[in-house]
Structure 1
Amino acid sequence: MTTHLQDDRAPAAALLSLARALLDTASLTRVVPDRMRVAPVEPLPPGDLRALHGALARVTDALRLPGLDVVPDTGGLSAVELCVSRRLGLDRHSLDGCAGRLEDAVEPARAGFPGPAVVVPSYDGVPLRCWSRGPVNRPAVAIVNACGMPAGMTAAWVAALSSSYRVVTWESRGLFAVDDGTGPGELGGWSLDVQASDLLAVLDGFGIRRAHALGLCGGAAVALAAAAGSDRITSLSLWHGDYELHGEAPKTAHQQDVAALLAMVARGRRQATEMYRLMRRPATLDGLRPDLAHYLIHPYATPELLYRYGLLNGAIMSADCHRFLVAEQPALVVTSETDTTAHPAGSKFVAARLPRAELRTMPDGDHLTAFDAGPALVALARDFLRGVTAPDRRDT
């Protein structure tokens, strides 16, 4: 009987895993203008390929996602298509799973984070795709993600904090498709101040008066700007921040290279299209962490996204952060000596200038480790949050 139960559950587990992977890559499949091709991880007979194509269509239809074309192998696939293929991990087990009961997988998959977005208009009317998790009567934590990254990048932090806090987050303006897959929403403005105001608009959208802002990478600069301009941000934690300090802190080679790329593609759509042709090559994935590649490549997925990313993230990386260092809220600034993406000297400078900041330099961990929300980082965040949240600081 045990064997029978295991065999019976295997297709259901495979189907749920596939549904989650399809939703996890939906930011890409919804925003690319052409139907995306995906390849299995192992060669399959032609009959199995045709069956997998039909079965996959059944699942994407149930999830209300764009359809995918299953091709025999990865030859000729773009970097984005390779990312999606690797995340889906299609094989013979996928075909078995697709034969299962869709209702057993679709709703559980959609119920997980990020799940369906709540669309909140920012102050200039630009729609923001937002999420909220956790008890509504608990202090609020607004997670400010790195510019251009899908909400899934914050999933570990949401899971770690939403049992004790009301956690909200959103995706960068103008870089993500509406749910019907008609392309990215309108961009509107793109300055750092505009992006900081999006944080307050998200709080308004969920009826939240005040919140702790947890900023990651360039999101740290956005959180810092919001805190400098509004006492609705009651405290800050800034994780591996990327700050422009006009020569008062060194930058890594990565920061310099990305800043140059963004400045180039922000000049116009022609320049963005030329760079996109290079970045769609599979070699683009060589330096990306495999489990995060489908997130990291999002702002490079189309020429239009790359152009807008140049404007948005370029504004973050070039805005002088000195003027925000007057923020008087309690702040935790976290970095690592082994971060070769955002130079730790920037975080040290910010921590030394903020009136009420404490610096924690972790002994190990690279830049992307901050998004993993490992036990040591979560313990640090929770300890700080306990000290800065109190019963009189309820979020609504």
Structure 2
Amino acid sequence: MPTVPAAGTPAALAAALLDTASLTRIMPGRVRVAPVEPLRSEQRASAQELLDRIGGALGLPGPEVVGDAEELTAVELAVSRRLALRAPGAVADGEAERAARSALAAFPGPAVLVPALDGTPLRCWAAGPEDAPAVIVVSACGMPVGLTVTWLAALSTRYRVLTWESRGLFAPDDGTGLGPPPDPSLTAQSDDVLAVLDGFGIAHAHALGLCGGAVIALAAAARSDRVTSLSLWHGDYELGDEAPKTPHQHDIAALLALVACGRPQAASMHRLMSRPTALSALRPDLAHYLIHPYATPELLHRYGLLNGALMTADCRQLLDVPQPALVVTSDQDATAHPAGSAFVARHLPRAELRRLPTGDHLTAFDAGGELLTLARQFLDSVTVPDRKGT
């Protein structure tokens, strides 16, 4: 396991700045951050100078260090907590720049831009042996790649692992912004699976879908036999009256419908969701990922369209796909109702259901030991060599 740098060091700050880059790239102004403990004016100036040096070496806008957290928005608080900024100690010549280079080289590495079938640029990653069977990780809509890094790292020891970030919701590294709004339809989002495979020269792959990504993976399998097998983890499915939904699913569906109506509605909701209390519902170690699609009014509007398309797609029309499938859920998932996964598993022709007694919705993204064992066992049963190439 790689050594975790001590909090507040240039190495830790470089890693944290990259980890929060999806937010700092997209915010309209400089993100303000507060230190863990109050700093004297000279300490604050030193901390600012260090952040600016590291940010410059990373090609990122350096956050602005402020005295306390009282005036910060939810996004700024999430970034502050991830940075865990302290009074900097002595920094050797070139240490900040070396830390930035190491952070840039760390797993999963820089994004590769791949064009979608409709030309939308997709931020993508690939890891693992190029001649190994391929696995494409289909994450939840609007989530930065960092949320799935544990899956990518664990599976890339034996598989060629690919993933990407949702179309139109992430700014590229060059500072050009989000670009024009993309097609938010489920068809376009499922076509992105095939575009990513094309971008890395992969003919066939197993699709591992998480949360709403399970819907995209199902739709891609229905459209193409290039998806040779599926694993669907804590899926968020629309199944009509066939399965109940959690209060969270009902609440999110109503929110998405509202902000998808137009930018004025998204702006009004964004003002509410920018309050610090918005963080109280988010797991602290993941908050800087989970808050991304709510970071600006434009992002929130686009998220309403994209994730709304997933949450309203009738998945019953996708349940005749013939590929072998593993469906995983948990009795403790209060986000996506486990009954939805049970229904999907019963109706897919070649599915097996694993309903675990413990683990909430976000546990699926943690990729803990039991989940990895399940995934590897199933992958071993459905993958064969020489999946690469066309």
Q: TM-score band, normalised by the shorter chain?
A: over 0.9
SS of 2:189's equivalent in the other structure is helix
Q: How many pairs does the alignment contain? A: 387
Matches within 5 A, 1:149-298: 149-298=143-292
Partner residue, 1:52: 47
Structure 2 distance, partners of 1:377, 1:47, is 48
After TM superposition, give the deviation of residue 246 of structure 1 in Å.
0.8
Unaligned runs of 5+ in 2: none
Structure 2 distance, partners of 1:87, 1:215, is 27
Structure 2 distance, partners of 1:211, 1:35, is 40
- Contact 1:216 1:239 (8 Å CA) reproduced: yes
Structure 2 distance, partners of 1:163, 1:146, is 23
What one-letter code is carried by the residue in structure 1 that aligns with 2:136? A
Structure 2 distance, partners of 1:357, 1:163, is 26
Matched, 1:347 2:341: yes
After TM superposition, give the deviation of residue 24 of structure 1 in Å.
0.2
Partner residue, 2:320: 326
What one-letter code is carried by the residue in structure 2 that aligns with 1:360? R
Partner residue, 1:18: 13
Deviations, residues 9-67 of structure 1 (Å, cap 9, x unaligned): 98899211111000000000001111110110101111110111111101100110012
Q: Could you tell me the percent identity over the aligned residues?
A: 65
- Contact 1:59 1:98 (8 Å CA) reproduced: no
SS of 1:292's equivalent in the other structure is helix
> Judging changes above 3 Å, is the alpha-carbon distance between structure 1 residues 213 and 304 closer, same or farther for their aligned structure 2 residues?
same
What is the TM-score with the length of structure 2 in the denominator?
0.96
SS of 2:162's equivalent in the other structure is strand
Partner residue, 2:73: 78
Partner residue, 1:6: none
After TM superposition, give the deviation of residue 392 of structure 1 in Å.
5.0
Alignment equivalent of 2:64, drawn from 50, 63, 69: 69
Structure 1 distance, partners of 2:315, 2:347, is 11
- Contact 1:130 1:202 (8 Å CA) reproduced: yes
Partner residue, 1:127: 121
What one-letter code is carried by the residue in structure 2 that aligns with 1:233? V
Structure 2 distance, partners of 1:77, 1:195, is 34
> Judging changes above 3 Å, is the alpha-carbon distance between structure 1 residues 96 and 296 closer, same or farther for their aligned structure 2 residues?
farther
- Contact 2:5 2:11 (8 Å CA) reproduced: no
Matched, 1:32 2:27: yes
CA-based RMSD: 1.6
Unaligned runs of 5+ in 1: 1-8
Partner residue, 1:307: 301
Deviations, residues 166-221 of structure 1 (Å, cap 9, x unaligned): 00000000000111233213332101111000110000011100000000000000
Structure 1 distance, partners of 2:102, 2:285, is 22
What one-letter code is carried by the residue in structure 1 that aligns with 2:116? S
- Contact 1:12 1:104 (8 Å CA) reproduced: no
After TM superposition, give the deviation of residue 68 of structure 1 in Å.
1.4
Matches within 5 A, 1:142-153: 142-153=136-147
Give the stretch that moved more between structures: 15-24 or 260-269. 15-24
> Judging changes above 3 Å, is the alpha-carbon distance between structure 1 residues 227 and 42 closer, same or farther for their aligned structure 2 residues?
same
Partner residue, 1:90: 85
After TM superposition, give the deviation of residue 87 of structure 1 in Å.
0.0
- Structure 1 stretches of at least 4 aligned residues deviating more than 6 Å after TM superposition: 9-13
